[in-house]
Amino acid sequence: MTRPLSVAVAGLGTVGAGVLTLLRDNADIVTARAGRPIAVTAVSARDRTRDRGVALSGLHWYDDPVALATDPRVDVVVELIGGSEGPARALVQAALAAGKPVVSANKALLAVHGAELADLAERHEVTLAFEAAVAGGIPAIKALREGLSANRISRVAGILTGTCNYILTVMREHGREFADVLADAQKLGYAEADPAFDIDGIDAAHKLAILAALAFGRPVAFDDVYVEGIRNVSALDIAFADELGYRIKLLGIARQTEAGIEARVHPCMIPMAAPIALVDGVFNAVVAEADFAGRVMLQGRGAGAGPTASAVVADLIDIARGRATPVWGAASGALSDVPSLPMSSHVGAYYLRLMVVDRPGVIADVTAVLRDHGISLESMLQRGRSPGEAVPIVMVTHDTNEAAMRVALSLIAELDTVLEAPAMIRIEAG
């Protein structure tokens, strides 16, 4: 048999330990599919004494992960440290520059420095693989970059954070508020101690930037992604969504129009019957609309040791087999230069909820502002009457331009009878 592929793993946390476990437990099928054994020979992490639940004896230990890049015994470097800067970036740069293929699960690194790293990989004619960086165990990268490579893709959308999807699911099922559910999710280990990256949508935006680059064959552009998280989604809006026939999900959506590419992450109301609306709890989903293949949807586990290790090892098997694809699906010079569109040019339907004083003329004042900005209503809902008290009014608009909607909302917020900042959630087809 051919000699084993010698792998260095930097980072032995959730994913790193998962990779070692998978390579041990599934060694037989991995060897068969790779055509040779895949053997971890060197590792790096910060704390050498920590029990990681996997055997490390006989492996070369490096305190400095960047040194793995120049170990002559190592064929492939796996970066599982995380973060767009620091040791993760330095290691990936050093390994590619040394002519070693790299596998990484690091969405922040790929989203922020993916263009520069692709150049480096191309110059040194080595692979940079990152299946685990988006949607964990779902082979979303392979599906877009290889499975659908013969298609023009017009839209890619997904539930890209299991943490947010879990929080929104529990809020709906139990009628609970965001902060309360977040605290529980942290206790259960579904949300990080510092959950900002997840709940403010940054993590999903990293993944969307990667999906958009692959779907539309253009350089990755994280800074152009519009981002809004789920902090402001209330139990009341989830209940109204239910009444109107919608589910609220945090979606990442990238769409190619004639004018350019829009890429956005924000809470959406999607029709209850849309397949993606049924993806609940910690599950992720990715939907692509392709000109010849039609609509393709993948769903599964987006995080965790097992699913993420599955994606990392699939990349290692490709490398062992010599299967290689340019980082962004086409060579850097062949990528498109279609411009990104600002969020202000988005056109779609909107859900609005206002808390107003229940007195005559209030609705007329609100609808006058909407009319003056060319916004027409599809439906309006006001339940119960409590003269002089605060009541919610819910409105659903026809397709409207985001810029006009923002101006109208700021004027509505200034009306005396409007008691708090209006809630606005964009409506999507799913």
Ligand X SMILES: NC(=O)c1ccc[n+]([C@@H]2O[C@H](COP(=O)([O-])OP(=O)(O)OC[C@H]3O[C@@H](n4cnc5c(N)ncnc54)[C@H](OP(=O)(O)O)[C@@H]3O)[C@@H](O)[C@H]2O)c1
List residues with catalytic annotation.
Answer: 207
Q: Measured from the CB of residue 98, what is the shortest distance to ligand X in angstroms?
A: 18
The total number of residues written for the chain in this structure: 430
> Residue 107 or residue 145: which is nearer to ligand X going by CB?
107
- Residue 195 found at the interface with ligand X (CB under 6 A): no
> Residue 282 or residue 370: which is nearer to ligand X going by CB?
282
Binds ligand X by CB under 6 A, chosen from 81, 103, 138, 409:
81
CA distance 66 to 49: 20
Backbone angles phi and psi of 54, in degrees to 5: -135, 150
- Where does residue 51 rank: exposed (0-12), middle (13-18), buried (19+ CB within 10 A)? exposed
With beta carbons less than 8 A apart as the criterion, state whether 286 and 253 touch.
no
Nearest to 124 by CA among 101, 106, 91: 101
Binds ligand X by CB under 6 A, chosen from 94, 115, 117, 132:
132
Binds ligand X by CB under 6 A, chosen from 24, 27, 35, 50:
50
| Contacts to ligand X from residues 105-124, by CB under 6 A | 105-107
Q: How many residues bind ligand X (CB under 6 A)?
A: 25
> Residue 132 or residue 356: which is nearer to ligand X going by CB?
132
- Residue 136 found at the interface with ligand X (CB under 6 A): yes
- Residue 47 found at the interface with ligand X (CB under 6 A): yes
Binds ligand X by CB under 6 A, chosen from 147, 219, 304, 326:
304
Binds ligand X by CB under 6 A, chosen from 7, 31, 41, 87:
87
| Contacts to ligand X from residues 4-43, by CB under 6 A | 10-16
Tell the residue number behind the tokens 């609220």, with chain if given: 248
Q: Which long-range contacts (CB under 8 A, 24 or more apart) does 332-339 make?
A: 332/115, 332/118, 332/119, 332/122, 332/219, 334/217, 335/217, 335/218, 335/219, 336/216, 336/217, 336/218, 337/218, 338/216, 338/218, 338/256, 338/260, 338/261, 339/259, 339/260, 339/261
Q: Measured from the CB of residue 88, what is the shortest distance to ligand X in angstroms?
A: 7
- Residue 78 found at the interface with ligand X (CB under 6 A): no
- Residue 92 found at the interface with ligand X (CB under 6 A): no
Give the tokens for residue 130: 């990152």
| Contacts to ligand X from residues 306-345, by CB under 6 A | 308
> Residue 47 or residue 414: which is nearer to ligand X going by CB?
47
Site string for ligand X, 338-377 (x = CB under 6 A): ----------------------------------------
Tell the residue number behind the tokens 């959308």, with chain if given: 157
Binding site for ligand X (CB under 6 A): 10-16, 44-47, 50, 65, 80-82, 87, 105-107, 132, 136, 303-304, 308
